[in-house]
Structure 1
Amino acid sequence: MRILFVCLGNICRSPLAEGVLRRRLAEAGLEHVEIDSAGTGDWHVGQPPDSRTVAVARARGLDISGLRARQVHMDDFHAFDLILCADRSNLQALRRLAPPDARAEIALIRDWAGAGQDGLEVPDPYTGGAEDFEAVHAMLDAAAEAIVARLHGRPAPAA
């Protein structure tokens, strides 16, 4: 199983999702699941995650400082089984870009995780404060827990 997380610039939500799920998978003994992240935009290609994202992760014992932003490639639609988007805007952009023979399922992170009602987004904290990054972490951690449960074939934890 290969999962790609996608947000706009690949410096806030998607690298945090990558780090959080990587930890949850390791705790569950599912290290064979491959995780990556990317952005639909190219503004931050090659840059590390936003310092506020790194700080939120670090406060929880996660080191995502070595990740580097990249843009979604056409090959990703064939290389990944699942592409999970932070919000509807990125979801729509990827659905427009996807080739007709794409093998990847494309969905919202929180929808695929079974985190409650359909259409729940992970808001972009980029222009917000520390509390916005904290809230995004909480959403992504809950989604990661639910994703692990789903991969194990169990019902997702209650939202």
Structure 2
Amino acid sequence: MTAPEGRGIAGRTDTFRILHVSTGNVCRSPITERLTRHALMDRLGDPLSGGLIVESAGTWGHEGAPMEANAEIVLADFGADASGFVGRELLDEHVIRADLVLTATRDHRAQVISMGHSAGLRTFTLKEFTRLVRAIDPATLPDPRDEGVVERARALVRAAAALRGWLLAPTAEADEVYDPYGAPITFFRSIGDEINQALDPVVTALTGVRAPSS
């Protein structure tokens, strides 16, 4: 099988695809997708101009469904755009094309890796990736002003993969983002805060640009 152009394991180098994965693709992964886009907009203006593409899907994705209403409220709290979202079921082509897969839980990570496509070295839970990124010296990464954001992002993923196994979580639960599906808005907001805090160092490391308020 020939992978589509722009896939993560080879192909074009002018784009970098980030794929967020949860279960239904109506709560956690839509929040993470849109908060990532929002953070990239804050730093880069238009993420697409830097070659970054952010998507999401669910291992039991509610194909064609809107995100949960409470997820929209959480995004509004952060000033992020929730419009136009449509749920997707995770497919092989999504994994093939992704340069970085960030999952809500370890089970999601295992499911993505079990799909094959050499996904193991570019698939992490969100919190796992955050922990690894914090340990990487930014000075060892390409300067995006010279080599572009895409090359920096690819180098970051390689560096994080090299650290995995050496920098372990204090507990297994530390790498999990729990599912707020069906929960009240207060729990959704706590999950939104958790996701946002995990994303901030990741987006800073990817782009080499701190959040405007930092």
What is the TM-score when the length of structure 1 is the normalising length? 0.86
Corresponding residue number in structure 1 for 2:103 = 85
User: Which of 117, 121, 138 is matched with 2:176 structurally?
Assistant: 121
- Alpha-carbon offset, residue 10 of structure 1: 0.2
Cα deviations by residue, 1:106-134 (Å, 9 ceiling, x for unpaired): 11011112288624211100132112111
User: Which of 127, 139, 161 is matched with 1:110 structurally?
Assistant: 127
Q: How does 1:8-157 map to 2 (within 5 A)?
A: 8-29=23-44, 31=47, 32=50, 33-42=52-61, 44-99=62-117, 101-102=118-119, 105-114=122-131, 118=169, 119=172, 120-152=175-207
> Contact 1:81–1:104 (CA<8 Å) still a contact in 2?
no
**Residue ranges of structure 2 left out of the alignment (5+ in a row):** 1-15, 135-167
Change (3 A) 1:102 1:110: closer
Whole-Å separation in 2 of the counterparts to 1:63 and 1:8:
21
RMSD (Å) for aligned C-alpha atoms = 2.2
- Alpha-carbon offset, residue 102 of structure 1: 4.3
Equivalent residue letter for 2:33: E
Whole-Å separation in 2 of the counterparts to 1:152 and 1:61:
20
Change (3 A) 1:45 1:126: same
Aligned length: 153
> Contact 1:84–1:107 (CA<8 Å) still a contact in 2?
yes
Equivalent residue letter for 2:65: Q
Equivalent residue letter for 1:63: D
Change (3 A) 1:26 1:8: same
Other structure's SS at 1:89 match? helix
Equivalent residue letter for 2:195: L
- Alpha-carbon offset, residue 59 of structure 1: 2.6
Other structure's SS at 1:47 match? coil
> Contact 2:38–2:81 (CA<8 Å) still a contact in 1?
no
Cα deviations by residue, 1:30-75 (Å, 9 ceiling, x for unpaired): 7131100000014x11011001101111232222131100011111
What is the TM-score when the length of structure 2 is the normalising length? 0.65
Whole-Å separation in 1 of the counterparts to 2:78 and 2:203:
19
